[in-house]
A and B are shown apart, each in its own frame.
Chain A
Amino acid sequence: MPIILVLDDSATMVMSLSHILKGAGYEVETGMNGREGITKLTDGVKPSVILTDLNMPELDGIGFIKEARKIASTRFTPIIVLTTESGGRKRDEARAAGASGWLTKPAEPSQLLAVVKQLCPSK
């Protein structure tokens, strides 16, 4: 079963995303900031897709993407930024850090699942 790693500092968002992804048949790993995400990856979690917020404490989304790209197992893993930010500057920053895609909140569950399915065709 493909694993999706979800990173968001909002407990409600983490629960909400987990519910939708599990309902669609994915296994979900979660973290409340970028640091927890990196710990998951170094502990051996191998996600098929990573969904991350941008504004998080300790290590933000951009910092997480940069560090995740340095880890061999996630060098090419699709990373989707799911954020309230829709500005071009932030988007460019995320792309430069190694983000694969961008989804602006508020998003529909169907939009989220379509993006994940597109990047995770093996399911």
Chain B
Amino acid sequence: MPLEIDPGARNPAPEANERLVCAILAEQVAALRDRMDATATFDLLWRTTALLSWLSGLLNDLSRHSAHTNPVLERERAEAIDEIAEIRRGLDELAFSQAQKQDFARQIADCVVIALERMAVAEMPPGTHFSSLDLADLYVSEQQRDLHAAVVSRLNGNAGAQVMK
């Protein structure tokens, strides 16, 4: 007698598959989010700015305690201090701006992880357990809401076009 395989065993229910995919994706996006940590980079940037401040102070102290003043060296010292201050300001701005960008990316990833986790465990019929409004509740910025509105509008437009065909 030929082997009979239950079709259900070969192809799990589509809903179960989707939940499994959501659970896997949630884990993968969570791993991606955790890799966004750039604390070591920022720490190095801030140590550099602290070092620059220290060097600037040191140049001032050396000049103040020098017995012989050399006009050329004095001018170069002043120029170096100005340059150090400018670089320090630039590094501070760069670090702060990058930290905020990284934080925003992390929050967007968080939103995706939460959505996928909820879709993976919902005890409701497929297609009804997580709506676009539920997703919108997770947003942390107007940028995300604008993107959401643009996608909904585009899909609604496409749906309308398909219906007309």
**Are A and B co-members of a single complex?**
yes
Which residue numbers of A lie inside 8 Å of B, CB to CB?
8, 10-13, 15-16, 19-20, 23, 54-55, 83-87, 105-109, 112
Complex Cα–Cα for A19 and B91 (A): 12
Binds A, one of B24-32, B59-67, B94-102, B155-163: B94-102
Does B19 count as interface, using CB distance less than 8 angstroms?
A: no
Output the least CB separation between B136 and chain A (Å).
12
Q: Is B99's CB under 8 angstroms from A86's CB?
A: no
Asked if B141 contacts A85 (CB within 8 A), the reply is: yes
Give the tally of cross-chain contacts (CB within 8 A). 69
Interface string of B93-120 (1 = CB under 8 A from A): 1011101111110110000000000000
User: When the two chains form the complex, which single residue of A20, A55, A84, A86 contacts B96, counting CB atoms closer than 8 Å?
Assistant: A20
A87 to B37, CA, bound (A): 27
Choose among A54, A84, A86, A87 the residue with the greatest number of B CB atoms under 10 Å from its CB: A84
A51–B104 alpha-carbon span in the complex (Å): 17
Q: Which of B6-14, B39-47, B71-79, B123-131 contacts A (4 or more CB under 8 A)?
A: B39-47
- Docked complex Cα distance between A55 and B137 (Å): 12
List of 7 A-B pairs having minimum Cβ-Cβ separation, nearest first:
A16-B99, A84-B141, A106-B100, A10-B103, A105-B100, A12-B99, A19-B46
A107 to B97, CA, bound (A): 7
A10, B106: Cβ atoms closer than 8 Å: yes
CB distance from A116 to the nearest CB of B (A): 14
**Chain B interface SS verdict (over half):** helix
* Cross-chain contact B42 with A12 (CB below 8 angstroms): yes
Nearest Cβ on chain B to A122's Cβ, whole angstroms: 24
Enumerate chain B residues within 8 angstroms of A10, measured Cβ to Cβ: 99, 102-103, 106
Query: B97's closest neighbor in chain A, by CB?
Result: A106
In the bound complex, CA of A23 to CA of B85 (Å)? 13
Whether B102 pairs with A12 at a CB distance below 8 angstroms is yes
Our pick among B93, B104, B145 for the contact of A105 (Cβ within 8 Å) is B104
Interface residue from B42, B92, B106, B142 paired with A15 (Cβ < 8 Å): B42
Output the nearest chain B residue to A110 by Cβ-Cβ distance: B93
Please indicate the chain A residues that have their CB under 8 angstroms from the CB of B37 in the complex: 11-12
Q: Which residues of A contact B46 (CB under 8 A)?
A: 15, 19
Flag whether B151 is at the interface (Cβ < 8 A): no
How far is A10 from B37 in the complex, measured between Cα atoms in Å? 9
Please name 26 pairs of A and B residues whose Cβ atoms are closer than 8 Å in the assembled complex, sorted by A: A8-B103, A10-B103, A11-B39, A12-B38, A12-B39, A12-B102, A13-B103, A15-B39, A15-B46, A15-B99, A16-B95, A16-B96, A19-B46, A19-B49, A19-B92, A23-B49, A54-B140, A84-B104, A84-B140, A85-B140, A85-B141, A86-B142, A87-B145, A106-B100, A107-B100, A109-B92
